[in-house]
Chain A
Amino acid sequence: MSKEPVAVVGIGQTRHVAARRDVSIAGLVREAARRALEDAALTWADIDAVVIGKAPDFFEGVMMPELYLADALGAVGKPLLRVHTAGSVGGSTALVAANLVAARVHATVLTLAFEKQSESNAMWGLSLPIPFQQPLLAGAGGFFAPHIRAYMRRSGAPETIGALVAYKDRRNALKNPYAHLHEHDITLEKVMASPMLWDPVRYSETCPSSDGACAMVLTDRAGAARAPRPPAWMLGGAMRSEPTLFAGKDFVSPQAGRDCAADVYRQAGVTDPRREIDGAEIYVPFSWYEPMWLENLGFADPGEGWKLTEAGVTELDGDLPVNMSGGVLSTNPIGASGMIRFAEAALQVRGQAGEHQVEGARRVLGHAYGGGSQFFSMWLVGARPPDS
């Protein structure tokens, strides 16, 4: 039995900011969900099931908050699933929801991911107590900086690459009204002069801490036919996981990421991602992860990713735009960040990305990762249905 094609017909985001003190957690998720429903011209009654994701519950101090959010999500009397796969969760959540449609369990599913980081302190929420983790590994930056240094040493990339990524993403964010950071006076010099946090990661090369939610309505062919706006079609989707630490682990280009991308490309019939994919929303929480993931995703050969960044290929008007929305570097409600990547990819192929639209984008990749570079989720969406 072949799978039912999955279409994205509704997308909604909150305006992402450091602290949404004007809304409760329920108000935050409802804002994104309602916008997704409006985009799809559907009502709560049209939704068969809800799949919600977020990163660790400690970020808000609510254990399994989906129980409390059942009412706000219109899920009463419906199936409600809660996914948690670390930083990749926003992407994984969308894929779990997509499977419900692909398996023909449900026709129309609301999927949503959120984080309200202002409710607690995410850095300490991420810093495990001794003896589970060595001291001084405060926050994610402390974990990832050594792997960035390994990449720099391995690839011979010039030290300026990270700043170029940050400068690009923060300028892209100026074209995205939902982005958290709108730094109108950003310059490359300011990025390079910003304080060093975790060598080589500077303050301006680091993701912010955001409150925000993102929602999508996924549906089958019949649902897509009724949609008022062009749908985005899922051409491939996959998740891969590997252990946190083991002898021989390649933190610079993890095997799980390469396998995940290969699976997505196989499903979509993509043999040359650099030529066949028109843009990518990649989970880049620290600037240097753009060139690292470009290689991991097969857009560049090992050691060559930074050259695409340096040559401007990943700029909004480049040959392979990356993080047109401003990316995680401009907006990071952690649990939602992966779903924002997936949703922004879908916005592009729907032609609905507004000022940061890539003209003629037909196939765009959405990417998320989490944990110790060990959980990956990705999808490729297209303007046309699969096998058409």
Chain B
Amino acid sequence: MEPILEVKDLSVYYGVIQALKGISFHVNKGEIVALIGANGAGKTTTLHTLSGLIGADGGEIKYKGKELTKIANHKIVGLGMAQVPEGRRVFAEMTVLQNLKMGAYTRSDKSEMEATLSDIYKRFPRLEERKMQLAGTLSGGEQQMLAMGRALMSHPDLILMDEPSMGLSPIFVNEIFKIIEDVNRDGVTVLLVEQNAKKALSIANRAYVLETGKIAKEGDAKELLNDESIRKAYLGE
């Protein structure tokens, strides 16, 4: 299997505090890879650094062989890597349809864009029903769907998802995880950051455990799910 994303010795500082202490991991094409860990372990920092919202202070991020730390951050989505940010961050004052179109900002292939849009409506029928509604008026779960749909509009090969289940009701959580599996089955590689470790490990192929800015453990997701220390620390058993 070939890696679509390879991160080597990535380090990030917030002032004098080192948030990422030289982490290395990779994501193979077609996988779902979970990045789990407690609050403040550096999960969101990792994703933000991958997307260039935070500058790396050391290390490499290779996406499809290209070094991302040297590319202007707004150009990254055009290379095929999209992010569903933590807390959804939909454009509340814009309609659902306008949000989706923003997701396709870097695309210029109009007819194929329409096809992507109708695929997304098929995946999220609720978004089509509410396409003229302001995104800020949607429920949390619907906003999560919109954030996912918006990221998918760029037609990504790799999608980074930051805490997609945060603050959602159990029914929505199940639905969101099912959608992540569907999206992956349709050929999109997924890097999933989650506090809900049990759910994340149950759909992932492989996983990394992040502890205070370092990779503490890595391996097959099913094995980690049965790992004694993981069960104690992250699954609450």
Does B bind A? no
B residues within 8 Å of A by Cβ? none
A residues within 8 Å of B by Cβ? none
